[in-house]
Structure 1
Amino acid sequence: MWGVSPNHMLWSSRHNTTLVDYTWSVGQTPFGPFSEVSSLSFVQKDAARRNVLLTSLNYSITSAVDVLESIAAHGGERKLLKSSRHVEFIQRRNLFKYKLDEAVSALSH
């Protein structure tokens, strides 16, 4: 059995019990014992929204990389495209790879 303890409770392995520690219980959060706020702060809401967005971007980037790897696995673009479309595809693929690298770099920050 497990659960999430209140912010002011701290587990002590030395005492094998919980201790009261109000160090992390200050601030405008609905989880603290001294809070008068019943809603999440901007920082908490922003972090939740940002994580949803980053997860979606990561999925999109992974899918795009899978497409490029699939093309390579089927013998490359020379076998899949006619010679008249090959140059255009290479130009578009190079631009796409550049933008993909920039997006991955931006996400890492």
Structure 2
Amino acid sequence: SHARSRSTLEIPIFWFIHSDALMIDKHYQAKALSDMVIVVQSDPHSWESHLQCNGESLLWDLRSPTKAAVAAASEHLSGLLPLHLVYSDAHETAIEDWIWSVGCNPFSVTSRGWKISQFQRDTIARSYVVTALEESIQHVNSAVRLLIMEET
């Protein structure tokens, strides 16, 4: 069956619609979880977010969570993260560096863009190549371990 095929990945996306403003974890219209993506859609078309640019609050259109849904699905599929998240060696954790939140794509909080950029598509492709190589190495190492145990 195609459900067990390595070339097929089914992602449950749950899309909740509510008349009142509804967010996930206080600030998100969509969230990637380990086994699904959750999206919320609400009536307000101009919602003042917790983020600011040049001292002005960014406004979100809660009626159209497409951008957030694409970002969450991309994160679920490939581990793609927003550009403003960077790893800090000093803190040994991810930190926010908003200078990198640029471009017209789903991961830029200052734009309305919902299309994955060429850079992000390349990043996703590299991620798949690295994952395939790691899996291949694991299979070869398993085979080598089995061969070592065989008597000659």
How does the TM-score come out when normalised to structure 2? 0.34
More helix by share: 1
Larger Rg: 1
Greater relative contact order (Cα < 8 A, sep 6+): 2
How does the TM-score come out when normalised to structure 1? 0.45
